[in-house]
Amino acid sequence: MSTTPARHVLKISDLASDELAGVLALASAPIAATPLANQGAALVFEHPSARTRNAAEMAVVQLGGHPITIRAEEVGLDRRETVEDVARTLGSYHRVIGARVARHHTLERMVAALSARPHPVSVVNLLSDVEHPSQALADLLTIAQCFGSLAGRSVAYVGDANNVCRSLVDAAVMTGVEMRVAAPEGYQLGPDDLERAVRLSREAGLGGTLRQVASPEEAAEGAEVLYTDVWVSMGQEHEAAQRRSDLAPYQINEALIARAAPGVVVLHCLPAHRGEEITEGALEGANSRIFEQAENRMHALRGLLAFLVGSS
């Protein structure tokens, strides 16, 4: 058993840029090795999931491991027992704990609780209010499949600069992408996000850029990829009416597609709300690679888990 400390991915920037490239390479490679043979992965969900749960379970199976999905109410995080006690207990059976959490800090508490363990247990963020790193890996994989490369591609994210956007921006600047984000006031990336993007781009040295603009048209102009996510994320249901009103001009529709580069690729992490952040025509049209992107969630998670298990 390895004595190297476990690696965790709570944010995309927990990977160095060469490691991110390595994860994408593993995700693209044929399924061969079984580094999780005779080991388990506990997948804890505080919020619902279609893609992430199924993609993660199948990725674990493809790596020879055994996944156990646990709805948060079963273990009662901080209700039945503390997050720390749940993490330590699950860590005694499993090589990996994947968790979808309402508050990012819950993941950090899991990592801290596992730090004294003699055997490595990796924690993977399966979506928090701050980041969705395994989604960003699938997004890059999809863009690379569509264009054959990442560096120099132009990607416009339109809508709420949320968890999905934050991970996508970081992954993009780490791989040399020209990233544009169009979000209304109150929904934009913060100063910390902008500073981190500059630092990650500099460290990667691949020429990645981030430009935040107010107008979706400006972001879309000549872009090779148009990307959006829901206007009301899980846990924000009480703000739904205000969000729908504020974000209404930030829809991916046929008019926005017409401003983008010919052959623009339309992406959405799903679930989608047709007629809100994206029109039916944009989602189902010839430019959409949204369901290829959904499939790539599984390949991306397989690459990420293979990297983590191989690194500690």
C-beta closer to ligand NVA: residue 36 or 179: 179
- DSSP code at position 56: H
Give the interface with ligand NVA as residue ranges (CB under 6 A).
127, 162-164, 229-230, 233-234, 269
Q: Which does 163 bind (CB under 5 to 8 A by kind): ligand CP, ligand NVA, none?
A: ligand NVA
Q: Which does 226 bind (CB under 5 to 8 A by kind): ligand NVA, ligand CP, none?
A: none
Question: In this structure, which amino acid lies at residue 73?
Answer: E
C-beta closer to ligand CP: residue 194 or 270: 270
User: In angstroms, what is the minimal distance from the CB of 164 to ligand NVA?
Assistant: 5
C-beta closer to ligand CP: residue 54 or 82: 54
CA distance linking residue 20 with residue 17, whole number of Å: 5
71 is an interface residue for ligand CP by CB under 6 A: no
268 is an interface residue for ligand CP by CB under 6 A: no
Q: Which residue number places its CB atom closest to ligand NVA? A: 233
Q: Which does 62 bind (CB under 5 to 8 A by kind): ligand CP, ligand NVA, none?
A: none
Helix (H) or strand (E) holding 42: strand 40-45
User: In angstroms, what is the minimal distance from the CB of 283 to ligand NVA?
Assistant: 15
User: In angstroms, what is the minimal distance from the CB of 241 to ligand CP?
Assistant: 22
Choose the binding region for ligand CP from 10-18, 48-56, 182-190, 198-206 (rule: CB under 6 A): 48-56
Q: Would you tell me how many other CB atoms lie within 10 Å of the CB of residue 29?
A: 13
Helix (H) or strand (E) holding 123: strand 122-125
Question: In this structure, which amino acid lies at residue 181?
Answer: V
72 is an interface residue for ligand CP by CB under 6 A: no
Beta-bridge partners for 271: none
Give Cα separations from 307 to 6, 248, 285 (angstroms). Answer: 11, 40, 35
CA distance linking residue 178 with residue 192, whole number of Å: 19
Beta-strand ranges (E) seen in 151-271 are: 154-158, 178-182, 209-213, 225-228, 265-268
User: In angstroms, what is the minimal distance from the CB of 229 to ligand NVA?
Assistant: 5
Phi/psi-derived region of residue 205, left when phi > 0, alpha when psi is between -120 and 50, beta in every other case:
left
Give yes or no for a contact between 296 and 268, defined as CB atoms under 8 angstroms apart. Answer: no
Site string for ligand CP, 116-135 (x = CB under 6 A): -----------x-------x
Binding site for ligand CP (CB under 6 A): 49-52, 127, 135, 269-271
